[in-house]
Structure 1
Amino acid sequence: MKKIICAGLLSASTICQAEVAVIVHPSNSNNMDATGITHLFLGKAKAFPDGSTAIPINQPESSSSSAEFMDKVLNKSASQLKAYWSKLLFTGQGTPPKEVNSDADVLKLVAENPNTIGYIDANNVTANVKVAAKF
């Protein structure tokens, strides 16, 4: 009986883990890895590898896409990320990425602007954007 319950819990936790897609404009030909993406979203880099300006788009910490992105890509909890940006803001060393409300908002902005980069639930990707990486 314990084995059945454990197997059920394991499969339920796998279902809860959504895959996050980091998306860019279709014209963006930059190759992005986790480190480069992390640097953009933490303000440590302000440009794509080709030198063009990068504008990261964030989602509210309450969104499931944001929680997955923070965990899988940034390796930070919501409170760690909040503390990180508070310190940078206070010292004048950086500003957090622009925040929008949903995957749909990220899709719209990224599809319209070649300099943006954002993340959404991989199930919501459309032909209007290019997937730079999945986590």
Structure 2
Amino acid sequence: MKKSIRSLAATLTLGIASFAWAEVAVIVHPSAGFDSLTEDDVARLFLGKSKSFPAGAQAVPVNQNEGSAARDKFNESICKKNASQYKAYWSQLVFTGKGTPPKDAGDDAAVKTLIAANPNMIGYVDAGAVDATVKVVFKIP
């Protein structure tokens, strides 16, 4: 019995660890006139420092809901902020009238559906959720 419990605990630990290290894909509409963005391009869009894609088209960033693993990984890897720092960053910009944060659009499926329907949006999902309805322009390993 103890051996079974240890085995189950080890399996759960490995499963959680692999989920925590899942790859996150930054996605856009398939008709976007570019195939990739740099990490800096993506960060500038999600931090409100840029409002357009490199080719000049308007860009509307959307976040996953607070607390999602993809959002936490995205914020830490791309924006270089943890959840509370990201929230404080946007609170200050909103308070001073210098910006509006990206809208929370839901989970992987909701973000993917929204971006597949709107050529101006950019978001991120777990790489395993990507299909032909969206185009990957950057990956966070």
Query: Which residue identity lines up with residue 121 of structure 1 in the other structure?
Result: D
Other-structure match for 1:20: 24
**Residue in 2 that maps onto 1:39:** 44
2:109 corresponds to 1:104: yes
One-letter amino acid matched to 2:24: V
Give distance in 1, aligned partners of 2:79 and 2:139.
13
Residues 1:63 and 2:76 aligned together? no
Answer yes or no: is 1:82 the counterpart of 2:87.
yes
Q: Normalized against structure 1, the TM-score is what?
A: 0.88
CA distance in 1, matches of 2:26, 2:91: 24
**Structure 1 unmatched runs, 5+:** 1-7
Helix, strand or coil: the match of 1:127? coil
Q: In structure 2, what residue type is equivalent to 1:35?
A: D
Bigger mean CA deviation after superposition, 95-104 or 11-20: 11-20
TM-score in terms of structure 2 length: 0.85
How many residue pairs get aligned? The number is 126
- Separation in 1, partners of 2:33, 2:96: 34
Q: Give me the identity figure in percent.
A: 50
User: Max radius of gyration: which structure?
Assistant: 2
- Any gaps of 5 or more consecutive residues in structure 2? 1-9
Residue 98 of structure 2 aligns to a residue in which SS?
Answer: coil
Of 106, 118, 131, which residue of structure 2 is paired with 1:126? 131
For residue 26 of structure 2, give the secondary structure of its aligned residue in structure 1.
strand
Residue aligned with 1:26, SS: coil
Structure 1 stretches of 4+ moved >2 Å: 11-14
For residue 101 of structure 1, report the CA deviation from its aligned partner. Answer: 1.4
Shift of 1:14: 5.1
